[in-house]
Amino acid sequence: LVIKRVQQINGYIASFKKAFPKDKNPVTTENLVRAIASYERTLITPNAPLDKYLRGDKKALTAQQIRGMKLVEEIGCTSCHSGENFAGEGFKMGEGNYQPFPQIPGSKFDKMYNITADLGRFEVTKKVEDKNHWRVPTWRNIAITAPYFHNGQVKTLDEAVRVMAKTQLDMDLKDGQVSDIVAFMNALTGEFPKQTMPILPFTPNFSITPDP
């Protein structure tokens, strides 16, 4: 349906021919995906406080954020949330770092947040070893991307930290520890790109809405 609509807009046809000059019929699902992916690669958020700190600006992080940074390493969070994006390192584009969640089943959070109702990667692969395995999410901009977890059941970052500590590390964190970790996670919020909304191709006096 999407392709049929795009094919009816002359402005898009011209743009696709320019972007994919070797293709006889450039308006295809594959090229539409490539075009969207190309745009999405521009949506980077650099210069988070942590980035500035690592480049030498020691005032970029507060004392509490530094405590939180040290704590996530000490208790083992970085065994999964490592690398530049805190989602695992050494993976090629398109690959993912899949880990079991919960790592330690049976806590009160399993039922409280319906954690194990979905079987994760198993739903796609049907491999037993993939049951309850999920792709490790990035911590970049995590402070502004609530709700949390695959089912969106956890509303706050503070609670998400408590859930992860218990289900993955079998730890009951103190309030101060949670606050320090959340403070550090706030230091991973970057600068958002400034974008100007373009004038999109249009179809004067013609509707591409399909007939009912």
What is the share, in percent, of the chain residues with pLDDT greater than 90? 83
Nearest to 168 by CA among 136, 138, 139: 136
The pLDDT, as a whole number, for residue 98 is 94
Kindly report, residue by residue over 110-131, the tens digit of the pLDDT. 999 999 999 999 999 999 999 9
State the pLDDT confidence band at 164, using cuts at 50, 70 and 90.
very high
The pLDDT, as a whole number, for residue 63 is 99
Residues 113, 104, 165, 173: is their CA dihedral positive or negative? Answer: positive
Q: What is the mean pLDDT of the chain?
A: 94
The pLDDT, as a whole number, for residue 212 is 59
Report CA Rg, the chain.
Answer: 22
Residue tagged 């969640």 (tokens): 101
Kindly report, residue by residue over 45-58, the tens digit of the pLDDT. 999 999 999 999 99
User: pLDDT at residue 94 above 90?
Assistant: no
Q: What is the pTM of this model?
A: 0.84
Give the length of the chain.
Answer: 212
Read off the DSSP letter of residue 134: E
State the pLDDT confidence band at 205, using cuts at 50, 70 and 90.
confident
CATH of domain 49-186: 1.10.760.10
What b/e sequence results for 180-190 when a residue is b if at least 16 CB atoms lie within 10 Å of its CB, and e otherwise?
bbbbbbbbbbb
Residue ranges per domain, the chain?
2-40, 49-186
Percent of the chain as helix, strand, coil, to the nearest 5: 40, 5, 55
Q: Cα–Cα distance between 202 and 200 in angstroms, integer?
A: 6
CB 66 within 8 A of CB 181: no
